Every structure is written in structure tokens, then in C-alpha cells.
Amino acid sequence: MRVEVESISAKSLVEAILFASPEPVLPKRLADYLKMEEARVHELVQELNEEYNRAGRVFYIRFIGQGYQFYVRSDFGPSIREFFRVEGRRLSKSALDVLAIVAIKQPVTKRVIDTIRRASSDSIIHNLLELGLIRIAGKAPGTNAYLYATTTKFLTLFGLKDLSELPTKEELEHIVEYSGDLFQKNNAEKQGTG
């Protein structure tokens, strides 16, 4: 049963929906549900973040993967990782190469990926599909070859709002090397959001 917006503030509903969602929530979806403009949703999220900051809360709402999601402040990351002893998965250099090619050239076929890498990418593509970082985006015209593209999970893990923020292949490699282990960090942050 849907609680009427009139009986609960729109800000509280935005907060409750985002808190309950395991994935980023599109502002348009919130706006449609709450029968308001998207700009108002952005204002409500900003107000919530200001309240959390003033109160010294350990969490905030972040715009990532084209939607909003709760995150734990990064200064709590080391403690959360230690508490949960998260054993994150690390992407191999080959997997990063394939992911970078897909991200930059999407939609792209396996043949193009293999040509650029000068090596077979079968198992890497399969693993990236299983991890949810890439998806099948259709078939190349006139062939049975699958086209691959990145996913919302890819955007979320790399901290991108949308595809226009994609870094170059070299920047992608630097991001992962600098973070030490992107998967471990993000998994620990997510576990800390409860």
C-alpha cells in the first residue's frame, strides 16, 4: 500500500526510497512517483545532504550511475574494510584492457576487441558479463556478432554520472591502480551503508 505523499514529506519519501534501494534510483523515477519536477528531486537530495553534513552523519546521497544512492563517507572506508574483511575482486590488466576498449568504443564486437588487443578475449568478456560490468547491446548489422557496451554497474564502480565522463584507457588504468582495489573499496562502502 502506497503512503500518500501528503501525509509524509516528499523529502522523507525520497530518503526512504533511496535508503531501501540496493541500486541507484533515477531522479526521473522519483519525480514521476512523487509527482514533481526532477529539479525538485535534486533540491530535496541537496537539502538532505546538507542536513546529514550539519548533523555529522557518516553517510550521504551520491549521484552515480545516472541515479542517487546512499554511500558511507570515504573516511570510514578503512574501518569498514577491516570490520568486514572484504575480499574484493581485482580486475586483471587484460580485463581492464577489454573493459576500456568496450567503454571507449561501445557498442563494439568481440572481433574488434580481439583485433585491438591482438589476443582472444573470450573468457575475459564472459567474466565481465558475469560481473555485470558489460552487457550484450544487440548484434552487429548483417552479422551474428554480439555488440558489447558498459552497464550502470560499470558507471557506479568507476564513480561516473554518465558515459560523457568516461576517461581514456590510460586514465581507467590509473584509476584502478591508484585506488589499490576498486572492487574491494566499493564493496566495503556498500556494506557500510546497511
CATH of the domain at 132: 1.10.10.10
Q: Which of 39, 72, 105 is the last residue of a domain?
A: 72
How many Cβ atoms are within 10 Å of 41's Cβ, its own excluded? 24
> At residue 194, what is the residue type?
G
Instruction: Average the pLDDT over 80-85 and give the result.
Output: 62
Q: Both 188 and 104 in a single domain?
A: yes
Range of the domain at 101: 93-192
| pLDDT at residue 187, rounded to an integer | 53
68 & 117 share domain: no
What are residue 150's DSSP bridge partners?
134
pLDDT digits (tens, 9 = 90+) for 101-155: 898 888 999 999 999 888 888 889 998 998 889 999 999 998 889 999 999 888 8
- Which residues have a Cβ under 8 Å from the Cβ of 53 and sit 6 or more positions away? 60
**185 and 110, same structural domain?**
yes
pTM: 0.50
